[in-house]
Amino acid sequence: MSEPTELFLRACMGLPVTRTPVWMMRQAGRYLPQYRAVRGKVSFLELCKTPDLACEVTLQPIRELGVDAAILFSDILVPVEAMGMALRFTEEHGPELPAPLRTAADVDKLRVVDADDELGFVMAAVRKISAALPAGVPLIGFSGAPFTLATYMVEGGTSKNFIETKKMMWGDPATARRLMDRIADQVIGYMVAQARAGCRALQLFDTWAGILAPSDFDLWARPFAMRVLAEVRAAAPGVPLVYFVNGSGAILERLRGMGADMIGIDWKQDLAEARARLGPALAVQGNLDPVALFAPVAEVEARVKAILEANRKQPGHVFNLGHGVLPGTPVESVKAMVAAVKQYG
């Protein structure tokens, strides 16, 4: 396979780049007035399910900010609905699944669907976005990882202590394992379909795996994410794979050898130390504190420079936030961040 020319893809693969590429998790979102204008007319799920609108909001940060990658506009819970679970998003509570999974019978009702059929609106959006993107800006597809999706499916929404999930893991491990495996089967088909529709890289969000003790990470998150990465790699060779855990500081060594090309690093760790612990085979993505974008612009620039400096002599760094950009973030600060990466990176 010939080497890509796009900065983002090169950095994912650890290849030399002329400048550090930059994009932001959740870069299409409520901090952007043009996103709020579209969202004012339709619900969040309708936005995800209407390819023209999903395409429009995916492109907004590309036009407004000049970032080096686009990320498909959707949500990690969209395939969960396709698996047969009711899903709604509310302003106060975020995602809600009113009929959470608690028993073996609940898990057995879950379907694994053909992503091109039942999630065809996602693939239509991928094709539209791919056709509309400027040269040099690849489209990133994504999915939630099995453990992280399982927390939503078992808790019924966002959680603080993940009590129901852990009750199932430890009280009925066979059912919990069957759940993770079924989710993994769905995630594999979903990510491969995204690659076939035009995504040039794929990110697996294991946002909540950082709430696990390391020994539980080894049992309940790592093996299922690894199977996803291996099977997606086999079906979509040449597509860089990114694995992100929020709060991975205690388990970084465990992320080696999982099968990802690049690891997303949250802001609660030092990037140079994280790289040293991950070893030279893995690229890294991150890791500005999303709240730093609420600080004065001079502080934003200083922090951007420090992160770039931590990677000065090594390829394989994609600049990003340590987690998603927050609603209310000043767009001017985001622009200053992108400009600083382009100037100093």
- The catalytic residue positions are 26, 30, 39, 75, 152
SS3 category, 3: coil
Residue 95: phi and psi, rounded to 5, are -70, 140
Give the separation between CA 316 and CA 14, rounded to whole angstroms: 4
Which listed range, 89-97, 170-178, 282-290, 331-339, lies at the site for ligand CP3 (CB under 6 A)? 89-97
Question: Burial, 135: exposed, middle or buried (Cβ in 10 Å; 0-12, 13-18, 19+)?
Answer: exposed
Does position 19 interact with ligand CP3 (CB under 6 A)? The reply is no
Site string (182-221) toward ligand CP3, x via CB under 6 A: -----------------------x-x--------------
Does position 33 interact with ligand CP3 (CB under 6 A)? The reply is no
Question: Which listed residue (94, 136, 238, 279) binds ligand CP3 by CB under 6 A?
Answer: 94
Q: With respect to ligand CP3, which residue has the nearer C-beta, 73 or 267?
A: 73
Q: Is 94 left (phi over 0), alpha (psi -120 to 50) or beta?
A: left
Quick check: 286 and 267 in contact, CB under 8 A? Answer: yes
Quick check: 201 and 140 in contact, CB under 8 A? Answer: yes
Cα–Cα–Cα angle for 343, 294, 56, rounded to 5 degrees = 70
Does position 320 interact with ligand CP3 (CB under 6 A)? The reply is no
Q: With respect to ligand CP3, which residue has the nearer C-beta, 20 or 74?
A: 74
Q: With respect to ligand CP3, which residue has the nearer C-beta, 43 or 314?
A: 43
Q: With respect to ligand CP3, which residue has the nearer C-beta, 145 or 236?
A: 145
Does position 127 interact with ligand CP3 (CB under 6 A)? The reply is no
Closest CA to 72 of 120, 31, 127: 127
Does position 44 interact with ligand CP3 (CB under 6 A)? The reply is yes
Q: Is the peptide bond before 311 cis (omega within 30 degrees of 0)?
A: no
Q: With respect to ligand CP3, which residue has the nearer C-beta, 25 or 265?
A: 25
By DSSP bridging, strand 283-288 and strand 262-264 are parallel
Does position 156 interact with ligand CP3 (CB under 6 A)? The reply is no
Residue 123 Cβ vs ligand CP3, minimum distance, rounded to whole Å: 16
Does position 25 interact with ligand CP3 (CB under 6 A)? The reply is yes
Question: Which listed residue (9, 11, 22, 28) binds ligand CP3 by CB under 6 A?
Answer: 28
Q: Is 113 left (phi over 0), alpha (psi -120 to 50) or beta?
A: beta
Q: With respect to ligand CP3, which residue has the nearer C-beta, 172 or 289?
A: 289
By DSSP bridging, strand 139-144 and strand 201-205 are parallel
Does position 75 interact with ligand CP3 (CB under 6 A)? The reply is yes
Which listed range, 24-32, 220-228, 229-237, 250-258, lies at the site for ligand CP3 (CB under 6 A)? 24-32
Quick check: 237 and 276 in contact, CB under 8 A? Answer: no
Which residues are near ligand CP3 by CB under 6 A?
Answer: 25-30, 39, 44, 71, 73-77, 89, 94-95, 142, 158, 205, 207, 246, 324
